[in-house]
Amino acid sequence: MVRAEGVHKSYGQVEVLKGIDLEVRQSEVFCLVGPSGSGKSTFLRCINHLEKINAGRLYVDGELVGYRQKGDRLHELKDREVALKRRDIGMVFQRFNLFPHMTALENVTEAPVQVKKEGRAAAKERAMALLERVGLADKAGNYPSQLSGGQQQRVAIARALAMQPKLMLFDEPTSALDPELVGDVLDVMRGLAEDGMTMIVVTHEMGFAREVGDALVFMDGGVVVESGHPREVLGNPQHERTRAFLSKVL
Ligand SMILES: Nc1ncnc2c1ncn2[C@@H]1O[C@H](COP(=O)(O)OP(=O)(O)OP(=O)(O)O)[C@@H](O)[C@H]1O
């Protein structure tokens, strides 16, 4: 579903991704862990067309991110084409980014494409089903300010799902939550994994990574230091840098 080949990304003089190679298979829960500043968010943003890579190749579902290939030449995608591709990718951030003036149901219904494609009644019906899926049917009429952080994050997940994405990206989805609310959000993510959703999850929740993850990459300083099955990497890290990081978070 995602393939990175020698992906580099710099901000000005600062090289943040220094040649990332990895592969995420269909229906896999792929966990990305590493210290702050190691480039995890940047990598997700590159996958989601929010940043342009400087070198290498990045593919989502077999298609190059950001470019169209004609013969040997690459042509940058136009904004309209990028917008179309982004519909296939759902993204959930640390902060929930809901529209404060809309109810939970409206936040999910108004995922813009849905309304256009299906008409408002059908979009609303599907939004309701999604709120049910994240356990919030009874909060459909609440505004974000009337929801806990964990509930807001579950609405954000429902909203991302409303686009019927092929791939979900989670950027530390539970880091901003009070500890007692983390479990509900992780349960929703576990449910998505059971339904076969392909997910890339940047997380410090090593319990989740161990139980639900199919693959885990440890990134540090813009490179992949170590990768493998989460139980292997977490249980028997091969590199000193991985061990040092895990000793702080486990
Ligand atoms: N828009 C930007 N302009 C300049 N530098 C940036 C920008 N975005 C990120 N960086 C830098 O890139 C590096 C990697 O940032 P990134 O957010 O990808 O790391 P991260 O591993 O996700 O960290 P965290 O866990 O703290 O979110 C950091 O040093 C950051 O300061």
Residue nearest to atom 3 of ligand 1 (CA): 11
Cα(131) to ligand 1 centroid in Å equals 32
How many CB atoms sit inside 10 A of residue 66's CB?
A: 17
Q: 112: which 2 tokens? A: 């813009």
| Strand, coil or helix: 221 | coil
Chain segment 96-140, per-residue pLDDT in tens: 789 999 999 999 998 656 556 677 888 889 999 999 999 999 999
Amino acid code (one letter) for 198: T
The ipTM estimated for the assembled molecules is 0.94
For residue 35, the CA-to-ligand 1 centroid distance in Å is 11
pTM passes above 0.90: yes
3-state helix, strand, coil split of the chain in percent (to 5) is: 40, 25, 30
What is the whole-number distance in angstroms between the Cα of residue 53 and the centre of ligand 1? 14
